[in-house]
């Protein structure tokens, strides 16, 4: 049973990690594309329209990859996690169906019109199709995170005699206190990814001395969006999301921060340290006293419960993984803010385009928002364990009893091989688009 559960979780973790590499760019990029198209309508300067069409090509490739990798992930609800689907389908099925029927079809329908319909539609209707693509992508994220938020903080439900969850308050799904901080934090994080990609490609063009006009435009736009998004990820959205964890999942917060024992007189914030699960402490830690208490409760001496206060059977199943994922996310987020602030200062000093170290840094940093987003989701998912629905349905109770570990391992290896090929093909196609550069129409 343990082997079966391990491979079920590994397969879902792999497929969803690979899948989310693509939506995290498309959600943020859709807003930036709308911005470029809006700038063109306002100024009639053709380079903004060319920029919108250039990035829409990359958006379309990411969207296609998101669809291809999303379908196998959803099939697992009926194969590896059939018991979970049977018990909770009356609730999560509603938001997932809404995502497919409304958001996905809205986004996919108008994507085709935006890609191929400019001449037929005219610029104003073309802008509207781009805006509807943006609306569809953000609505899709909202409905997915509404589903996720219910699993983290179940609301508006009742449990029938047969163990099935049913919804008794539909509006509770969308007034869940977990939902809005998580959603806004996620969307700001996706905008960080797209900002670094846009700024990084702009830096590449400037360093290579090609497509210079677009290089400057992409760099400036990416830095402006990036500094706003990087700050929003930390405050207020990240702060509100963390306070939700403190309130609704205190055991998760203790594990995230590496608090093994409740500290009297205020909790320190750990900058560096390694969880020692045998001795239940952090090794080699560098910490600042009382800061965590202040950030959490705005009181220097506020008490934060340690893991010793909770039943060990409810501990997150992978405390080191949760601790490292959280600290990698926070550490990278801090670096993003610092780099984007340095970039914006140089932009205002009119020296950004000549500052080589910033150009190289932005180019080098392109993969890191993907890592930060991934570790952010790992923090949320590892933090909820050992529950599928927090405090109500254990992960072990949601797995399909009839799917063997051998079957799951075999298909997992197949997914790894297939996704490796898909990933290489994707990088080659995107590389060709970037190398070719924006195509001017004037």
Chunked into runs of 10 residues, the chain (442 residues) has average pLDDT values of 86 96 97 97 96 96 94 89 95 90 86 90 94 95 96 96 93 96 98 98 97 97 98 96 96 96 87 93 92 91 93 95 97 98 97 97 98 98 97 95 90 95 97 93 62
Write the secondary structure of the chain as one string of H (helix), E (strand) and C (coil). Answer: CHHHHHHHHHHHHHHHHHHHCCHHHHHHHHHHHHHHHHHHHHHCCHHHHHHHHHHHHHHHHHHHHHHHHHHHHHHCCCCCCHHHHHHHHHHHHHHHHHHHHHHHHHHHHHHHHHHHCHHHHCHHHHHHHHHHHHHHHHHHHHHHHHHHHHHHCCCCEEECCCCCEEECCHHHHCCCCCHHHHHHHHHHHHHHHHHHHHHHHHHHHHHHCCCHHHHHHHHHHHHHHHHHHHHHHHHHHHHHHHHHHHHHCHHHHHHHHCCCCCCCCCCCEEEEEEEECCCCEEEEEEEECCHHHHHHHCCCCCCCCCHHHCCHHHCCCCHHHHHHHHHHHHHHHHHHHHHHHHHHHHHHCCCHHHCHHHHHHHHHCCCHHHHHHHHHHHHHHHHHCCEEECCCEEHHHCCCCCCCHHHHHHHHHHHHHHHHHHHHHHHHHHHHHHHHCCCCCC
| Cα 28 → chain centroid | 10
- Predicted local distance difference test score (pLDDT) of residue 1: 59
Percent of the chain with pLDDT over 70: 99
Max Cα distance, the chain (Å):
69
Which tokens belong to 380? 């949320």
- Predicted local distance difference test score (pLDDT) of residue 101: 81
Which tokens belong to 286? 């560098």
- Predicted local distance difference test score (pLDDT) of residue 74: 86
- Predicted local distance difference test score (pLDDT) of residue 131: 96
Contacts of 220 (CB under 8 A, 6+ apart): 202, 347, 352
The predicted model scores a pTM of 0.96
- Predicted local distance difference test score (pLDDT) of residue 442: 58
Token look-up 């093909």 returns 425
pLDDT tens for 157-202 read: 999 999 999 999 999 999 999 999 999 999 999 999 999 999 999 9
- Spell out a b/e string for 91-114, using b for 16 or more CB atoms within 10 Å of the CB, else e: bbebbbebbeeebbebbeebbebb
What residue segments make up the domains of the chain, in order of their start?
A: 177-402
């Amino acid at each position: 049973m343990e082997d079966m559960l391990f491979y079920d979780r590994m397969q879902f973790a792999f497929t969803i990690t690979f899948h989310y590499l693509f939506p995290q760019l498309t959600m943020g990029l859709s807003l930036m594309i709308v911005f470029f198209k809006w700038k063109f309508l306002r100024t009639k300067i053709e380079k903004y329209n060319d920029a919108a069409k250039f990035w829409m090509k990359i958006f379309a490739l990411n969207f296609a990859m998101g669809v291809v990798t999303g379908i196998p992930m959803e099939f697992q609800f009926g194969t590896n996690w059939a018991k979970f689907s049977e018990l909770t389908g009356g609730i999560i099925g509603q938001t997932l169906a809404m995502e497919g029927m409304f958001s996905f079809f809205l986004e996919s329908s108008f994507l085709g019109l935006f890609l191929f319909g400019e001449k037929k539609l005219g610029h104003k209707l073309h802008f509207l199709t781009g805006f509807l693509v943006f609306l569809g992508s953000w609505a899709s994220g909202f409905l997915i995170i509404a589903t996720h938020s219910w699993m983290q903080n179940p609301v508006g439900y009742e449990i029938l005699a047969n163990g099935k969850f049913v919804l008794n308050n539909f509006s509770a799904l969308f007034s869940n206190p977990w939902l809005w901080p998580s959603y806004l934090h996620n969307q700001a994080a996706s905008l960080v990814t797209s900002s670094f990609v846009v700024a990084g490609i702009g830096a590449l063009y400037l360093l290579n001395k090609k497509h210079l006009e677009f290089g400057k435009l992409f760099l400036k736009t990416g830095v402006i969006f990036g500094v706003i998004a990087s700050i929003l990820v930390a405050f207020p959205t990240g702060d509100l999301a963390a306070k939700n964890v403190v309130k609704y999942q205190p055991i998760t917060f203790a594990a995230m921060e590496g608090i093994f024992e409740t500290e009297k007189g205020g909790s320190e914030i750990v900058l560096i340290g390694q969880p020692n699960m045998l001795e239940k402490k952090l090794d080699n830690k560098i910490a600042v006293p009382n800061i965590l208490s202040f950030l959490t409760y705005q009181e220097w001496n506020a008490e934060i419960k340690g893991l010793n206060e909770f039943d060990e059977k409810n501990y997150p199943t992978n405390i080191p993984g949760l601790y490292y994922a959280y600290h990698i996310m926070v550490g990278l987020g801090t670096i993003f803010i610092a780099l984007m602030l340095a970039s914006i200062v140089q932009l205002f000093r009119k020296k950004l385009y000549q500052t080589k170290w910033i150009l190289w840094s932005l180019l080098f940093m392109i993969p890191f928002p993907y890592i930060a987003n991934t570790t952010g989701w790992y923090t949320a998912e590892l933090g909820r364990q050992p529950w599928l629905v927090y405090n109500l349905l254990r992960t072990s109770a949601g797995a399909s009893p009839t799917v063997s570990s051998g079957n799951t391992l075999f298909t997992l290896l197949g997914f790894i091989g297939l996704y490796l090929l898909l990933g290489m093909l994707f990088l080659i196609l995107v590389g060709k688009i970037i190398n070719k550069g924006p195509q001017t129409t004037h």
